[in-house]
Structure 1
């Protein structure tokens, strides 16, 4: 008996080396968000972190690394050890659009990351601030832009971001000229709007609904196939004659070269975490639902979105250094 036990003990390190998932996770994990606290990406990351910690049996902390349209955080995770303990909550901007708009990108969305799962798709809402009380719907927004070319201001969380591209498409379609004001993240942009310094912007529906409780902010449209349960009184863009199917998806990634057994463990754990009532409730407050996928389906989505946005970026000749 003693002989067998010693043999088993001697074999254990080799078994663990052959199956890294058996020892994973052996310490706390971190989910890096490429945007400041308080925005949609941060909300989704923190909503996922708590149930994921329960499933994995280790603490999961959220680390905000804002900058360069989410690229600072993405680059940090791309350089992290590929052991599954550092994850990235990417969005359509970081994984599909940035490679199209940045001439020199500090990371490659496909080469440097291993997909785990899509997490959710948060619909956008169009909001207007106190500086333009006459803007109550899309028609009045267009009218205000036409009345004063180049003076209506719109905010985004960066040049080349999804809101920026959405407004460029709108301007191109309607033949209007608006002034883009980029910020480091949604909270700073909304604060500027509430102070009357920016006129309109697009924002995740959950954040838009919460800010609209302050009478100074008005939600004038939602970007969704049908009216949102969160904002039932607000007509969609499509209802108002504008068909721009843009959303803000979030997805979980690990550094490339993370062992397959660990990736499989992370995918299963993420899907289980997304079934937690606490996560589902937070998604409801964002006008969204959990959206678990396989890693291959996430990669296919990422590529399809890059192709779809590519035509927009090329038509606008939008290239950043």
Structure 2
């Protein structure tokens, strides 16, 4: 049976926001699942867990995060698509899963548009171009380009997988400059970042919040941020637009339910998620990542997702990436 909620307002202790109180559930003892399609401590995982705590208080039931990773997020997405459409299973989707994979994989076990019902957008997390301790001679974007042009393929960049947004974003930055780099893919963000920090690889594109944390040891440097404006966490890092590249590249996050979920359930979940994104703890967490809460309607999310597929599909076709 589908999730049912009665709307009454109260103040959730410790969060300081008005929330939906005491929803009536067909089976109150059931747990609501948020599937994160990437590894623990990944950006997707951080966002899912950040939402789970206030959402649990709002809905009056346990909300757990389940990591189902592999195939560029496809394993978790497929699991969410096959789940009962009763409102008890959600997917924390992101740009890789919903807008990139349809073009990089020859065959997907899910269809982003057919198999999912958009619930709410969550945030844009801007990315940053980050150089590790292996290259103390690179302290600006112009340094990076000049050295790469003098030695084509001599500088390496890490990504969390072939066809991932980390690879595609780096290529979108590098190609207009005419410089070429050696791509070194890894099986996740954590090993890719570690490779840069340990001087195995020179540079990478990663979430801005993670980049800011990495610079605190003084051995690493952020060359640019791919956001519309400079970020409070990285005030000295110029935007790509300031450097002559009018690019804004983010790892956006959004919440989805299985496509067969009834419209009233989607509407109720959207209200609950909007409330959850007002929680001070969630706002603080998301700002630390360089983003801000951006709840919206299911219709807005659907339109945004369609436009993103056009953009990333063109990039994948240009790079001629095809995965099995």
TM-score when scaled to structure 2?
0.90
Runs of 4+ residues deviating >3 angstroms: 17-22
Instruction: Flag the 1:18–1:24 CA change in 2: closer, same or farther, 3 A.
Output: closer
Is 1:125 matched up with 2:131?
A: no
Return the match for 1:158 from 151, 158, 161: 161
After TM superposition, list the pairs within 5 Å mapping 1:274-313 onto structure 2. 274-313=277-316
Partner of 1:223: 226
Q: Which moved more, 1:90-99 or 1:311-320?
A: 311-320
CA drift of 1:19 comes to 8.2
CA drift of 1:40 comes to 1.6
Q: Which has the higher helix share?
A: 1
Q: Tell me, yes or no, if the aligned pair for 2:52 and 2:64 is still in contact at 8 Å.
A: yes
Partner of 2:84: 81
Return the match for 2:95 from 92, 96, 115: 92
Partner of 1:3: none
Q: Which moved more, 1:59-68 or 1:112-121?
A: 59-68
TM-score when scaled to structure 1?
0.91
Secondary structure, counterpart of 1:89 in structure 2: strand
After TM superposition, list the pairs within 5 Å mapping 1:140-159 onto structure 2. 140-159=143-162
Deviation per CA, 1:130-177: give whole Å up to 9, x if none: 111111121111112112212211111121222211222233322222
What value does the CA root-mean-square deviation take over the aligned residues? 1.6
Partner of 2:267: 264
Instruction: Flag the 1:121–1:25 CA change in 2: closer, same or farther, 3 A.
Output: farther
Partner of 1:23: 25
Q: Tell me, yes or no, if the aligned pair for 2:3 and 2:26 is still in contact at 8 Å.
A: no
After TM superposition, list the pairs within 5 Å mapping 1:190-201 onto structure 2. 190-201=193-204
Secondary structure, counterpart of 2:243 in structure 1: coil
Q: In structure 2, what is the Cα distance between the partners aligned to 1:170 and 1:225?
A: 15
Partner of 1:67: 70
CA drift of 1:59 comes to 1.2
Q: In structure 2, what is the Cα distance between the partners aligned to 1:288 and 1:118?
A: 12
* Unaligned stretches of 5+ residues in structure 2: 6-23
